[in-house]
Chains A and B, each alone.
Chain A
Amino acid sequence: MAENFNQHSDISAADLTRLSQEAKAEATPSTARIIWDEFKADKPALVALVVVVGFIAFVMIASLFIDTPKMMETNIMNYFDRPGTNGLWLGADSGGRSVAQQLIVGSRNSIGIAIGLTVISSTFGICWGLISGYYNGYVDWGMQRVYDFMMMLPMTMMIIVLVTIIPHYNAITLTLIFSIFYWEGTSRLIRSRTLAESEKDYVAASKTSGTSNLKIIFREIMPNISSLIIVDTTLSFAENIGVETGLSYLGFGLPTQTPSLGTMIANANDPNNITQYWWTWLPAALEIIILCLSISYIGQVIRRAADSSQRQGAAD
């Protein structure tokens, strides 16, 4: 068979290296390169990226040097110290505990949970949506009924009940409990795009080329909805920071001896704190606002990079 092709084309093995080198020189830039160019073209986005990545790296590393049980000990001498006194940059709360240290450890806990939750729920939601959308038939029908059932459950109430029932839970079990309830939105979004994508002829062409269904789903279709996946994941990361924070604020998140952004904002439940001791809750609130805004801004830039018609960077 190979002879047959040799017969009809002048190209032979001798030309191989030369031709593929020529082709390499003409190659288009990779996706990572395009996204990076887009960030370089949009300075505020670059700032947002540096802020988010820098901040996450900082709290992850800094929290290693903080002895949490010791930090959480009550120290009556520092009762509501103002910022800057007694060597406490951001002052102390009603227990005389350093707000700055709590902020670092709390951020690590909250962001860690948000990352874990995003990874688990997005991975699951993406797989669920891809498979459900690709095999539209009985498989899809069954998977959609499961989805409908999950959507029927009152999410926040279920989480509160589960947290109350489980006697000892920590950051990891909490992440897993959240994950049970947070994949649906992603899966629906991915499914609807997969349905549209599966109709396209390149999927049919892959089938006639002998490619297996799983490979078609994850190697052919998934790259084509990658921009949707990246944007959705970034945005749900921003949202997931809010999930843990909100529940901890209500008192159903992490146990009280574990600081988190939510427990810190909960300081604002006391009217005294709101007006007089603002440093106990304001830094955590500001941090969440800045983080979430930056992350969604980054998400928008990535979306723009993925959609070639909206690019600002000098691509191609």
Chain B
Amino acid sequence: MNIIEIKNLKVHYPIRSGFWNRITDEVPAVDGISFNIRAGETYGLVGESGSGKSTTGKSVVGLEKVTSGSILYKGKDITKKENRRRLDYNRDVQMIFQDSLSSLNPRKRIEDIIAEPLRNFEHLSKEDEKLRVLQLLDIVGLDADALYKYPHQFSGGQRQRIGVARAVATHPKLIVADEPVSALDLSVQAQVLNFMKRIQRDFGISYLFISHDLGVVRHMCQNIAIMNRGRLVEIGTRDDIYNHPLHIYTKRLLAAIPETNVDQRAAHRASRLAVEQVYQDEQATYYDHDGKAFPLVAVSPTHSVALPEKLAQQLAQAETKREAQA
């Protein structure tokens, strides 16, 4: 069952100028994307910086004014403010922000930060509220003495935990996690990812997991969408994306995953350069005249690529043949 259905979503930022503040130009940050998130799964949204991932995530939680398209939740289009209000939408859909420091109000104590959604959506008694905050801190692995401290007194990893605690406070059904670990070092990344998984298991939450790093996404997501310049270039299961990538942009992202095995560094570097070369040479085939990706076509029930239909089928066949030989 789908918890969220995104249909042909477009977010164009207006550029205003002049005395009358008229719209003179637009930045198509998100340019017609569609995908569905199933209940209980972690859906990965991957792309390089500036590809429109955060904008998509913010649209899903209702922070962004959508230009056109729809986002369906419980059959209602939540791009309309009225529907969001009626559904108490943000009680069910919450967000973990990219920058943990900026997402916590520096002038508020941790207790007030975590209790904010509770105060607006659940109206608990003072005792119950405090108890709930303490439990949330416990769940994300922080001590009770964090209660009356301020955000700057915590490390980056601890702050991200506070962000997670706030996001799960109202027991939401979907959490948009916008690069929740990209500001953290590797060991802390693993910790935070692990307890995000634990929370997901315990509470049955779905994640829209945004990242620029296919290495991280591999551990978290069952389904993945690759985003490039505001459009999706490839959608598929983890296996489709990692083992049978068809779009050159996906291949390039995969080649960019750092190789940890020292012995194979040289070989890895060579293959990365080869992929880069192919990317430069074949851009004309994979993008239209304006440098935009084509509409998605399905090459298997789970796997779609942004290519002209014939080319996509050819590529898929070539891929299966290569598989068979190997």
Contact = CB atoms under 8 A, between A and B. Distances in A.
A75 interface: no
Leading 8 A-B pairs by shortest Cβ distance: A210-B120, A27-B148, A23-B147, A201-B103, A9-B135, A19-B144, A209-B117, A223-B107
Contact of B147 (A4, A20, A308): A20
B106 A9 contact: no
A20 B147 CA distance: 8
Nearest to B149: A28
A141 B153 contact: no
* Chain A interface SS verdict (over half): helix
Which of A6, A206, A208 gathers most chain B CB within 10 Å? A208
Contacts of A8: 135, 139, 202-203
21 contacts: A9-B136, A9-B138, A16-B131, A19-B147, A22-B145, A26-B148, A27-B148, A204-B95, A204-B97, A205-B95, A205-B97, A205-B105, A205-B163, A208-B90, A208-B94, A209-B117, A210-B88, A210-B117, A210-B121, A211-B120, A220-B105
A141 B146 CA distance: 42
Given A13-B127, A28-B153, A211-B116, A204 B103 contact: yes
A282 to B, nearest CB: 46
Given A4-B171, A10-B138, A20-B130, A210 B90 contact: yes
Interface residues of B, number: 50
Contacts of B261: none
B116 A209 contact: yes
B63 A204 contact: yes
Contact of A23 (B99, B107, B131, B148): B148
Given A26-B145, A28-B153, A224 B63 contact: no
B134 interface: yes
Interface string B115-138: 011001100000110111011101
A303 to B, nearest CB: 16
B229 interface: no
B166 interface: yes
A60 B184 CA distance: 58
B138 A209 contact: no
Nearest to A308: B152
A202 interface: yes
